[in-house]
Structure 1
């Protein structure tokens, strides 16, 4: 499923080509690219849920957050999916204002829905980029994340 998300982002969205919303055409294109139908449906559902998260004013996951300076406590399932390096990277992105509470929770929500046995920091960076791309008003944050993803950093990030 994650491979399909990457394919969609790199080839249809990030390449600035017209993003097709016709599910049949998109499904056919993904089938021609060699992806399996059940994985295509899962990936398209993932993208639709991402769009729903940013379109609605109701943010059910934010009701758990007391104040912007609060500490995020991860569930056991989130600990399993997001290792120490991933959780540290999310904290770093908040500290440098690439993510706010809302976008952080969107990233965690979308990460938890990815069906993959292995999930690494590089995968998380792509999820962050996809989330920021889909949230209006986050152009600066998207550009910063794009720099973090595509530029090789020398030395520590702090």
Structure 2
């Protein structure tokens, strides 16, 4: 599924350019050679992202000095590298509290029991892509060039910065 998300980012520079209709997107992904099971998972995941991004939420004070406490389930699925990377992005102003929560929700929606840092970075990328958030070039480079775990596949060789 992560490969499909990377493919969508690479193929559709902007989230608005990506087909919104699940059937149309499924046809395009199938034509690109992805398997039906992965396509279904990716479309479901994207639908969840679109749904969460469009829901009204409680306002977060951007100047708050509060600290996000991770649940036991979040700590079990997101290792210290993922949580540290999220804190880094929020601390340097790349993410606000709402985006952080969207990222956490979408990470928890993955079928894997543990989310590697490379997969987590793709989730961050997709949330920011969906929201059409502007990203610093160095942050974008960090999201795109991290070495992948062997079990994640090697998608970094095909990525380019837009």
Shared fold by TM > 0.5? yes
| 2:6 matched residue in structure 1 | 6
How many pairs does the alignment contain? 145
Give the conservation status (yes or no) of the 8 Å contact 1:128–1:145.
Answer: no
Q: With CA pairs under 8 Å and 6+ residues apart, which has the higher RCO, 1 or 2?
A: 2
Could you list the runs of 5+ residues in structure 2 that have no partner in the other structure? 147-162
CA deviations 1:91-144 (Å, max 9, x no partner) are: 1111101111110010000111112355221221111111111225x31x3655
CA deviations 1:55-102 (Å, max 9, x no partner) are: 22235xx79x9x832111111221122101111111111110111111
Q: Which stretch of structure 1 is more off in the superposition, 88-97 or 34-43?
A: 34-43
Could you list the runs of 5+ residues in structure 1 that have no partner in the other structure? 153-158
Which of 83, 89, 95 is 2:85 aligned to?
A: 89
| Secondary structure of 1:115 counterpart | coil
Give the conservation status (yes or no) of the 8 Å contact 2:78–2:114.
Answer: no
1:146 to partner: Cα distance: 1.0
Distance across 2 between alignment mates of 1:49 and 1:116: 16
Distance across 1 between alignment mates of 2:136 and 2:106: 16
Matches within 5 A, 1:119-158: 119-136=115-132, 138-139=133-134, 141=135, 143=137, 145-150=139-144
Distance across 2 between alignment mates of 1:151 and 1:90: 17
Distance across 1 between alignment mates of 2:15 and 2:67: 37
CA deviations 1:24-57 (Å, max 9, x no partner) are: 2321222233333232122111111111222222
| 2:155 matched residue in structure 1 | none
Residues 19, 111 of structure 1: alpha-carbon distance in 2 compared, 3 angstrom cutoff: same
Distance across 2 between alignment mates of 1:2 and 1:16: 16
